[in-house]
Amino acid sequence: MPDATTNTEVQKSLQGLRDAAEAQGHDDKLVVSLLREMTDLITKRQPRGGALSDQQVAFLIESGDFTEEEFAETEASLARGDLVKQERTTRLGVIIDSLSVAEVAEVLSVDAARVRRRQAKGDLYAFLAGGKRRYPLWQFTGDPAQPVLPGLTVLIQGLPADMHPASIKGFMRTPQEDLRVDGERMTPVDWLMHGGDAQALVAILGSFLQM
């Protein structure tokens, strides 16, 4: 069982997390989602086995997919748990960069029930984390006159159902080759903010799925 010192450290860490969330303008629902997601990451079963045979390794190297050095680095990375760390960071980062229902209601100057109805109709994008719905920040403009991205409903309809929230966030905030204004590549967020057609984003997503 944890000793008194450990319990005190846990309480201090939890309070520190709450204070940090509050300092960033978030409520305790962010803390709950983060803790539940961390619990899931800790308890999630890791795949066992799956090691490649010497013959399979030789085939990968001979086929040109890997050099010996690249394969060794890949194995070392897996042994260090780099992929697990990256997954943990990515999943928690998506939650941190999102709002609760109550926070969205404040942004939109409506009640929580209205937020849920808009999400159910496909006018707002949300994902589940720790059993709670979270609303990514990328879809909000910060402009009280137009708090939600133009064309968001069309974009949401075109989002692949199995696309992870982290992948969607990365897409929305990464300049795309096919989105240009005056020769400059734009992120999908900026594209919509500048009046770009949301169908262009749906087309890009569709081309990704066909690769």
Is the pTM of the predicted complex or chain greater than 0.85? no
Sole residue written with tokens 């999943």:
91
pLDDT of residue 49: 41
Which helix H or strand E contains 71, and what residues bound it? helix 68-80
Question: Among candidates 125, 91, 95, which has minimal Cα distance to 24?
Answer: 95
Q: In the predicted model, is pLDDT for residue 29 greater than 80?
A: no
**Where residue 55 falls among pLDDT bands split at 50, 70, 90?**
low
Contact 91, 41 (CB under 8 A): yes
| CA 48 from centroid of its chain's CA atoms | 26
Average pLDDT over residues 108-118: 97
pLDDT of residue 45: 47
pLDDT of residue 153: 97
Using alpha carbons, list the distances in angstroms from residue 26 to 20, 101, 128, 162, 177: 9, 11, 17, 28, 34
Dihedral over alpha carbons 62, 65, 69, 74 (to 10 degrees):
-130
- Residue 159, helix vs strand vs coil: coil
Q: In the predicted model, is pLDDT for residue 103 greater than 80?
A: yes
Tell me which of 131 and 45 has the higher pLDDT: 131
Checking DSSP bridges between strand 127-129 and strand 184-186, what pairing results, if any?
Answer: unpaired
Sole residue written with tokens 């309809």:
157
Average pLDDT over residues 35-56: 55
Determine which of 75-84, 90-99, 173-182 has the lowest per-residue pLDDT on average.
75-84
* Percent of the chain with pLDDT strictly greater than 90: 36
pLDDT of residue 209: 59
**Where residue 33 falls among pLDDT bands split at 50, 70, 90?**
confident
pLDDT of residue 113: 97
